[in-house]
Amino acid sequence: MTAKGTIAMLTGGGDVPGLNPAIRAITIRALREGYRVVGIRRGWAGLVDYVRDKGADNSESVQELSEAIVNRAGRTGGTFLHSSRTRPSHVPRERVPPHLSGYTEKVNDVTKEVLKNLEHLGVDALIPIGGDDTLSYGKRLHDEGVNVVAIPKTMDNDVYGTDYCIGFSTCVTRTIELANRLRTSAGSHERFLVLEVFGRYAGFTALLPTMAGAADRCVIPEFPPDVEHLTELLTYDRNRNPSRYSVVLVSEGARLTTHEGMSFEGDDTDMFGHRKLGGIGDKVAAALKEYSPKYNKGRRIDVVNQRLGYLVRSGDPDALDSIVPMAFGNLALDLISKKEFGRLVSIHRGVYDSVSIQSVTSEKKVVDVPRYYNTDRLRPIYEFDGAPLFISAATAQRRPTGD
């Protein structure tokens, strides 16, 4: 133990570029200020699987962190602490570790074990880094008395209470890059280009690349379009293009007026009740082929259909996702030093700040459709006076002035 105590951190949910820079920033500053730093491996799973027995091998659950360890990983993508979608309050019976007894329900809340494990590790402050699912359990631990400071991370940029989440810039950067690369195939064959991108409930990852010129139209979860109307618009775009192709970005959580609900790969759900999304791009592509003769003098237009998926979340972080995680990590240490717990570090209209962790579960952050999305033309509204940098501001309880 050190004079100041122990700080633990974990990364939960999907990986994004920028997690390792955040871990590095937290670790280096904390160690230099006299804290002990441990990484919880595999998200909340590390705190579920941890064994409190003396001499138990917990190397798969906890890792002591040093400057040498985090410096090696700090410039890379992903998370070297690994991640999972474990939810300790909803653990299926078959997933309960063998060393835990008494958890025989179909779904079990093992939070009391997590609290005992944090105490056994001597954790004085916990920093979960994740999206609204991961951070909602961080809020639960805060409610249970744990000293929590949270950092927002998600490709979708949909954590309420912050304009920006780690991973979003790299996602948008990769989406623009890949859309521009795939134009060559679409243009060579005079086709529609359909790109399925991230976005379960929020369409920022489709809207912003379209604003930047990566696509002619976009389909977002907040508004279900008529796909025949989309075909008419894309045909118009294609026929005005000298290379005779057009591009549409489709959020994975988007819905169509002709199809009920979202599109899923299967029926399995994770511990947060989410089924794996996928397939809306296929439905849009099939519909475009079907309706295109009506708007193209009886001739069908073929489609290049690509799901970008993990291509936009893999690899090294871009500049913004190297800088913001560093700042978020230092903000978290500032809050811990001042003993201001139960906070979510944030950016609000371009300024670093923090808000109550309660904001994570208060409501969803989604595209402001009347302000930023033309539902008739299925594309962004290009009006930016007074708009936040990332077109994704969210109101939440901020610190009082002078705090």
Question: Which of the residues are catalytic?
Answer: 156
Residue 175: partners with Cβ closer than 8 Å, 6 or more residues away: 195, 197, 205, 209, 214, 249, 308, 312
Report residue 152 as tokens: 């927002």
Please report, as a single letter, which amino acid is at residue 9: M
Alpha carbon distances (Å) from 134 to 128, 154, 278, 398:
7, 10, 22, 21
Please give the helix or strand (H or E) that residue 71 lies within, else none.
Answer: helix 67-73
H helix intervals, 147-297: 168-188, 204-211, 227-240, 280-295
> Cα(146)–Cα(152) distance, rounded to whole angstroms?
18
Which region holds residue 350: left if phi is over 0, alpha if psi is between -120 and 50, else beta? left
H helix intervals, 87-148: 111-121, 132-143
